[in-house]
Structure 1
């Protein structure tokens, strides 16, 4: 199946990957203190502090799942935007999704460069502007899905809750 094939919904794999990435991002957002403590101690030349392993594992999984999601999207395609909506909604959805994909690669890679390369500036970018951008885009993404589902009643949210058969 090529990316030009029209689908009405997302595949089971796409849905599972989407919600797995959501869970991992939430984990990273709420439980990053061990990594921050470990990274700060490392940059200050101190001994071991904090536990970076859960953050490293979750970040690695985000990177792997994002790559799989892109591969599936390129080979299977994605459902079209709902019919009858203003064209700008489709543009905004495409831009938002593209930027989220970009950040799903940039966040784990900048974290890896910071931790394994010992580059503090990469850590500053990871925990600062990139993190802020991801949070902002997730808010836009969720808001858009909720407006589509409950205001415009396009049924778009159900595509990510119930896989296409």
Structure 2
């Protein structure tokens, strides 16, 4: 696949960095919710929030980069339904990469806790503590995470299908170091 048919090295690096951070945040989130209250649990919550804020920042950069540069073309063998599914999944993933961290941020604020990024500075408090809203935002955060997990698994499965079954070079658009 020619170099012009690949995303830029910058976009590829951001894609994989964001993917790794999301996986770590997801695993950490699942571990911490089952822990008993302890200094370790509180530290894990901080790490989880830091990861969320970092993902949000990197996704904003990635979206701007994506809007400013043309994506490489899809393989010509992809039908209209596959193209619609691919584009729809990508759009939903972007929406979720914003919605998941933002729902966690607002859940934290509704619970009455500030978000202190990297332990260095407090992010703006955009809503006052609200016990009624806290439960709704917590549930929303959990649901959005589950939806994102399903879409990420679908995204990975589709990429692997294209690579191993269709052998159409689609995965090479985002493979690092090629």
Structure with more contact order per residue of length (Cα contacts < 8 Å, sep ≥ 6): 1
- Counterpart selection for 2:19 from 13, 22, 27: 22
> What is the CA-CA distance between 1:150 and the residue it aligns to?
1.1
User: Which residue in the other structure is 1:68 paired with?
Assistant: 61
Provide the C-alpha distance between the structure 1 equivalents of 2:144 and 2:78, rounded to a whole number of angstroms: 31
Question: In the TM superposition, what is the alpha-carbon distance from 1:80 to its structure 2 partner?
Answer: 1.4
Question: Within 5 Å, which residues of 2 pair with 1:37-116?
Answer: 50-51=42-43, 52-116=45-109
- Distance of 2:138 and 2:56 partners within structure 1: 17
Return 5+ residue gaps in structure 2 as ranges.
112-133
Normalised TM-score (structure 2): 0.77
TM-score normalised to the size of structure 1? 0.83
Q: 2:139 aligns with which of 124, 142, 146?
A: 124
Structure 1 residues not aligned, in runs of 5+: 1-6, 42-46
Q: Is the 8 A contact 1:10 1:163 kept in 2?
A: no
Once the 2 structures are TM-superposed, how far is the Cα of residue 18 of structure 1 from its aligned partner? 0.6
1:162 to partner: Cα distance? 3.6
- State the shift of 1:35 in Å: 5.2
Give the structure 2 partner of residue 11 of structure 1: 8
How many aligned positions are there? 151
Contact 2:103–2:141 (8 Å) recurs in 1 = yes
Which runs of at least 4 in structure 1 moved beyond 4 Å after TM superposition? none
Superposed CA offset, 1:45-102 (max 9, x none): xx99632210011000110111111100100121111112212111110001000000
The alignment's C-alpha RMSD in Å is 2.3
Task: Output one character per residue of 1:109-156: Cα deviation in whole Å (capped at 9) or x when no partner.
Answer: 0000000232221111112x2111101101110111111111111111
Q: For the Cα contact (< 8 Å) 2:13–2:176, is it kept in 1?
A: no
Kept in 2, the 8 Å contact 1:15–1:163? The answer is no
Report the Cα offset of residue 163 of structure 1.
Answer: 6.2
